[in-house]
Amino acid sequence: MSKQTLLTYYQTNQFNPVPIEIGDDRTWRNHFTRRRNLYENHLGIPLALLRDKSVLEFGCNSGENALVLAAMGANLTLVEPNEQVWPRLHQLFDTFKLKDRIINLFPQDINTFESDNIFDLVLAEGFIHTLENRDQALSRLLSYLAPGGIGIISFDDRFGSLLECIRQLLLFRVLELQGISDPHCDKSRQYAEQLFGQDYARLHTSRPFESWWKDNLVNPFFSAEVLWSYREILEVITQSGGEFLSSSPKWFTGDHYTWYKQVCDPVKRHHVLLQNWEKVFTYMLTGLLPEKEPTPLSPEILACITHFIEQISQYVHTRQVGVEELVYPEPLEVYLEQSSDLQIQYLNLEMKTLIGNIIRTTLKDELINAYHETSILKLLWGCPYHYISFTKSS
Ligand SMILES: C[S@@+](CC[C@H](N)C(=O)[O-])C[C@H]1O[C@@H](n2cnc3c(N)ncnc32)[C@H](O)[C@@H]1O
């Protein structure tokens, strides 16, 4: 039997992971405005400059994002191995009268696609981090960039996903207590709604709850192995002759307040970026604004969070770890305790109580109520999903 991948997960379950609603003028304008904000204000790519430029998008799904680029006059080469979403893609480009902007649509994946062409913009959103050979896939992506071209990837960040992993743990503990072995069943979705439905609704995201449940909470590909980090990604980008341009969320301030004549080489700039990342680390973990005087971060703290997330994943996906073996990591506790932000101190206490104690209850309602009674944890989502744009040297 061949190994399951994110792609086969979508195909077997026959679901569109990002069903973006753009059926009428209002929803289309909404979508367009958000994507423009992402490209222009976060990732540093003015859309008007894409007119007649060549774009290669891997994993375009049913093409809602590609449509924005087509509407700005870009010429698209699309690579989407899940042919189940092709009919909607064709129908959308037909409806928007933008079919002639698709130069090619290929059924290959990022590893098997071959082309002699190079492109001005190359994108791979929402899947590259899940691939076993993701470093190689990212290098391949960079190899398709024209000199001076721009690449975009998105990924689930290891540290930004801590709170999402804790949510996953809560749901799977409820399922365990209820004797439910299939996380994809209807009951599982109902428990997920009971636990997180209200908090999710407060996010006002266009993504339906059901898609989040399927694509994050119970997706076997939302696990420790697929989580990535800026440090690992920058290493590949540097090795492949690329340089960080920007990100979303946009947190790097290392270039701010510097004179443009003060040029930094890419390696040094990446180093400054990672130092900056350490300073905004509690923002990554919690989504709360960075502290003015952050507590220094140590490799020990990063290692203990990584290990904790691995333990959660093993509990959730393989049951190789039992709930009694889960321990709230002490170095993390000590680190967050020193925060000058009272919300972070409170969050720390709530996570400690939940993981150190309540998660072991045998009463599902006690667990659900304990989560509902948290005052900070239930309001925070961390920073799980990041975009990075990068350039290739000319
Ligand atoms: C989570 S969806 C994201 C869709 C879209 N890019 C977005 O960000 O809204 C991931 C997409 O990547 C595709 N995909 C999965 N594995 C792939 C691979 N190895 N190469 C290319 N595309 C892949 C899936 O079929 C799916 O359409």
Q: Which of 21, 35, 61, 140 to mutate to test the pocket of ligand 1 (most atoms within 8 A of CB)?
A: 61
Closest ligand 1 atom to residue 109 Cα is 20
CA 145 to chain centroid, in Å, comes to 23
54: CATH: 3.40.50.150
Closest ligand 1 atom to residue 18 Cα is 9
Helical ranges in 147-224 per DSSP H? 162-177, 186-201, 209-212
- pLDDT truncated to tens, each residue of the chain (394 aa)? 467 898 998 888 887 888 788 889 999 999 999 999 999 999 999 999 999 999 999 999 999 999 999 999 999 999 999 999 999 999 999 999 999 999 999 999 999 999 999 999 999 999 999 999 999 999 999 999 999 999 999 999 999 999 999 999 999 999 999 999 999 999 999 999 999 999 999 998 878 899 899 989 999 989 999 999 999 999 999 999 999 999 999 999 999 999 999 999 999 999 999 999 999 999 999 999 999 999 999 999 999 999 999 999 999 999 999 999 999 999 999 999 999 999 999 999 999 999 999 999 999 999 999 999 999 999 999 999 999 999 998 7
Whether residues 149 and 174 fall in one domain? no
Whether residues 20 and 152 fall in one domain? yes
Whether residues 82 and 181 fall in one domain? no
Tell me how far apart the alpha carbons of residues 127 and 133 are, in angstroms, rounded to a whole number: 12
One-letter amino acid identity for 218?
Answer: V
Give the residue numbers spanning the domain of 32.
6-156
Distance 328 CA to ligand 1 centre (A): 34
Distance 383 CA to ligand 1 centre (A): 20
Whether residues 189 and 310 fall in one domain? yes
Tell me how far apart the alpha carbons of residues 206 and 226 are, in angstroms, rounded to a whole number: 24
Phi, psi of 171 (to 5 degrees): -60, -45
Whether residues 328 and 218 fall in one domain? yes
Is the Cβ–Cβ distance between 147 and 120 less than 8 Å? no
Give a yes or no: residue 142 inside a domain. Answer: yes
Distance 379 CA to ligand 1 centre (A): 29
Distance 282 CA to ligand 1 centre (A): 30
Whether residues 187 and 298 fall in one domain? yes
Closest ligand 1 atom to residue 131 Cα is 19
Give a yes or no: residue 243 inside a domain. Answer: no
Q: Which of 108, 139, 156 is the C-terminal boundary of a domain? A: 156
Q: Which of 2, 4, 5, 6 to mutate to test the pocket of ligand 1 (most atoms within 8 A of CB)?
A: 6
Distance 60 CA to ligand 1 centre (A): 6
Distance 158 CA to ligand 1 centre (A): 19
Give a yes or no: residue 208 inside a domain. Answer: yes
Whether residues 129 and 177 fall in one domain? no
Closest residue (by CA) to atom 12 of ligand 1? Answer: 59
Give a yes or no: residue 166 inside a domain. Answer: yes
Name 145's bridge partners. 119
Closest ligand 1 atom to residue 62 Cα is 27
Distance 392 CA to ligand 1 centre (A): 23
Name 142's bridge partners. none
Closest residue (by CA) to atom 20 of ligand 1? Answer: 109
Distance 193 CA to ligand 1 centre (A): 26
Whether residues 33 and 149 fall in one domain? yes
Residues in contact with ligand 1 by the CB-under-6-Å rule are 6-7, 10, 17-18, 58-61, 65, 79-82, 109-110, 125-127, 131
Whether residues 207 and 302 fall in one domain? yes
In degrees, to the nearest 5, what angle opens at C-alpha 260 toward C-alphas 257 and 264?
Answer: 95
Count: domains in the chain: 2
Q: Which of 156, 180, 213 is the C-terminal boundary of a domain? A: 156
Helical ranges in 205-298 per DSSP H? 209-212, 230-239, 266-279, 281-286
